[in-house]
Amino acid sequence: MTDFAGNQQIIEIVYLIASVLFILSLKWLSAPSTARHGVLAGEIGMVLAIGGTLLHHGIVDYKWIVIALVIGSGIGVPLGLVQMTAVPQRTALSHAFGAFCVTLVGTAEFYLRTPNVPHFMMAVLSMEVILASLTFTGSLMAAGKLQEVLPQRPITYKGQNFVNLFFLAIAIAVAIYLVVHPGAKQLFPLMIVVPLIFGVLMIVPIGGADMPTVISLLNSYAGLSAAAMGFVLNSKLLIIAGALDGSSGFILSVIMSKAMNRSFTNVLFGAFGQVQAAAAAGKEEKTVRSATAEEAAGILAAANKVVIVPGYGMAVAQAQHKVRELYDALTKRGVDVRFAIHPVAGRMPGHMNVLLAEADIPYDRLIEMDDINGDFPQTDVALVIGANDVTNPAARTDQSSPIFGMPILDVDKARTVMVIKRSMNPGFAGIDNPLYYLDRTLMLFGDAKSFVNNIVRELAGNSH
Amino acid sequence: MNSALIDGLFVFMLAAFIGFEVIKRVSPLLHTPLMSLTNALDAIAVVGAIVLVGEHKSNLSFILGVLAVIAATSNVVGGFLITDRMLKMFKSSRPTKP
State residue A274's pLDDT score: 43
Q: What is the mean pLDDT of residues A247-254?
A: 92
d(CA A310, CA A321): 12
The C-alpha of A432 sits at a distance from chain B's nearest C-alpha, in angstroms, of 28
Identify all chain B residues contacting A64, using CB atoms and an 8 Å cutoff.
53, 62, 66
Residue A8: its pLDDT value, please?
86
Per-residue pLDDT at A211 exceeds 80: yes
With CB atoms and an 8 Å threshold, state whether A72 touches B71.
yes
Asked if the Cβ–Cβ distance from B48 to A238 is below 8 Å, we say yes
pLDDT at A210: 83
Residue B31 CB coordination number (10 Å): 25
* Å between A208 CA and nearest CA of chain B: 17
| pLDDT at residue A97 is higher than 80 | yes
pLDDT of B10 > 60? The answer is yes
| Test mutation, B6, B24, B47, chain A, max A CBs within 10 A | B47
CB-based burial, A383-406: b 16+ in 10 Å, e otherwise: bbbbbbbbbbbbbeebeebbbeeb
In this predicted structure, the answer to whether residue B97 has a pLDDT above a threshold of 90 is no
Domain with CATH 3.40.50.1220 in chain A: 288-462
| Best to test chain A binding among B6, B75, B85 (most A CBs inside 10 Å) | B75
On chain A, the residues whose CB falls within 8 A of the CB of B97 are: none
Q: Tell me which residue in A26, A80, A107 faces B81 most closely, judged by beta carbons.
A: A80
Average pLDDT over residues A340-346: 91
Model confidence pLDDT, tens digit, residues B15-46 = 999 999 999 999 899 999 999 999 999 999 99
Which of A312-321, A343-352, A454-463 shows the lowest per-residue confidence on average (mean pLDDT)? A454-463
Average of per-residue pLDDT values in chain A: 88
Using 50, 70 and 90 to split pLDDT, how confident is the model at A464?
Answer: very low
Task: Please state, in angstroms and rounded to a whole number, the distance separating the CA atoms of residues A235 and A291.
Answer: 63
* Residue of chain B whose Cα is closest to the Cα of A62: B54
pLDDT at A245 over 80: yes
CB within 8 Å of chain A, chain B residues 6-65 = 7-8, 11-12, 15-16, 18-20, 22-58, 60-62, 64-65
Q: Decide if B55 and A60 are in contact by the 8 Å CB cutoff.
A: yes
pLDDT score recorded for residue A334: 92
- Give residue A280's pLDDT: 46
Q: Contacts for A46-51 with beta carbons within 8 Å, 24 or more apart?
A: A46/A18, A46/B40, A46/B41, A46/B43, A46/B44, A46/B76, A46/B80, A48/A14, A48/A17, A48/A18, A48/A21, A49/A14, A49/A15, A49/A18, A49/A237, A49/B44, A49/B47, A50/B46, A50/B47, A50/B50, A51/A14
Cβ separation B72–A23 shorter than 8 A: no
Please give the Cα distance from B86 to B98 (Å, whole number): 21
Q: What is the pLDDT of residue A279?
A: 44
User: Would you list the domain boundaries of chain B?
Assistant: 28-89
**pLDDT tens digits, A374-433:** 999 999 999 999 888 889 998 888 888 778 888 999 999 999 999 998 877 665 556 788
B72 CB neighbours in chain A (<8 A) are 72, 97-98, 101
pLDDT tens for each residue of B42-82: 999 999 999 999 999 999 999 999 999 999 999 999 999 99
Q: Calculate the average pLDDT of chain B.
A: 91
Task: pLDDT band for A151, please (50, 70, 90 cuts).
Answer: confident
B30 to chain A, closest Cα gap in Å: 6
The predicted pLDDT at position A401 comes to 79
Please check whether the domain covering A288-462 is classified as CATH 3.60.15.10.
no
Please indicate whether, in this complex, the C-beta atoms of B51 and A351 are within 8 angstroms of each other.
Answer: no
Give the residue numbers of A marked as catalytic.
389
Taking CA–CA distances from A122, the nearest residue in chain B reads B1
- Residue A38: pLDDT band by 50, 70, 90 thresholds? very high
Give yes or no for residue A110 having a pLDDT over 70.
Answer: yes
Model confidence at A141, in pLDDT bands (50, 70, 90)? very high
- The gap from C-alpha B4 to its chain's centroid, in whole angstroms, comes to 23
Model's pTM, two decimal places? 0.90
Confidence of residue A276 (pLDDT cuts 50, 70, 90): very low
